[in-house]
């Protein structure tokens, strides 16, 4: 591969890995399945209980109305609860429910096991290369986020 192919390779490969992982994770899960965007939002809310919808949208790089739709779905499934913001009656604060925390714990365990299994199949040189690439991938994500307009 020549260096000029790198952007195209990354742009195609990273989403493909994510889709393949999600497909594997969905198999055998009870319905309704915790889809990728739902899992991302639930993960964020569990890490930052009381986050506003607008802040979650910025963090996830999604439009606020898209996050509102995700919130409505997760509230309907009993995985999130929405509370009025005491400082701003128009805003809502998001909190995971016990069922949401359990579902997220199961999702993480399945995801971690999936990646552990498949990374272990790689040889030591590939594992070392992936480890070495992580800081660069983080910097790439930060670079993509710079100057980003709020969706």
Question: The CATH number of the domain where 110 resides is what?
Answer: 1.10.10.10
Query: By residue range, what is the domain housing residue 67?
Result: 32-145
Sign of the dihedral defined by the CA atoms of residues 134, 139, 140, 146, in that order? positive
Q: Burial of 71 by CB count in 10 Å (0-12 exposed, 13-18 middle, 19+ buried)?
A: buried
37-92 confidence digits (pLDDT tens): 888 999 999 999 999 999 999 999 899 999 999 999 999 999 999 999 888 878 88
Number of domains in the chain: 1
Find the Cα–Cα–Cα–Cα dihedral 129, 144, 141, 21, rounded to 10°.
-90
Q: Model's pTM, two decimal places?
A: 0.74
Token couple for 70: 């995700």
81-129 confidence digits (pLDDT tens): 999 988 887 888 999 999 999 988 888 898 899 999 999 999 999 999 9
């Amino acid at each position: 591969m020549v260096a000029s192919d790198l952007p195209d390779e990354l742009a195609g490969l990273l989403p493909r890995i994510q889709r393949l992982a999600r497909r594997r994770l969905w198999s055998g899960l009870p319905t309704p399945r915790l889809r990728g965007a739902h899992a991302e939002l639930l993960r964020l809310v569990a890490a930052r209980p009381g986050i506003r919808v607008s802040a979650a949208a910025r963090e996830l790089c999604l439009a606020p109305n898209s996050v509102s739709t995700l919130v409505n779905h997760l509230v309907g499934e009993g995985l999130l609860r929405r509370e009025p913001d005491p400082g701003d009656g128009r805003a809502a604060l998001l909190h995971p429910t016990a069922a949401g925390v359990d579902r997220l714990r199961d999702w993480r365990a399945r995801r971690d096991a999936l990646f552990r299994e498949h990374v272990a199949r790689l040889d030591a040189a590939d594992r070392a290369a992936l480890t070495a690439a992580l800081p660069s991938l983080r910097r790439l994500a930060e670079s993509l986020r710079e100057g980003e307009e709020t969706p």
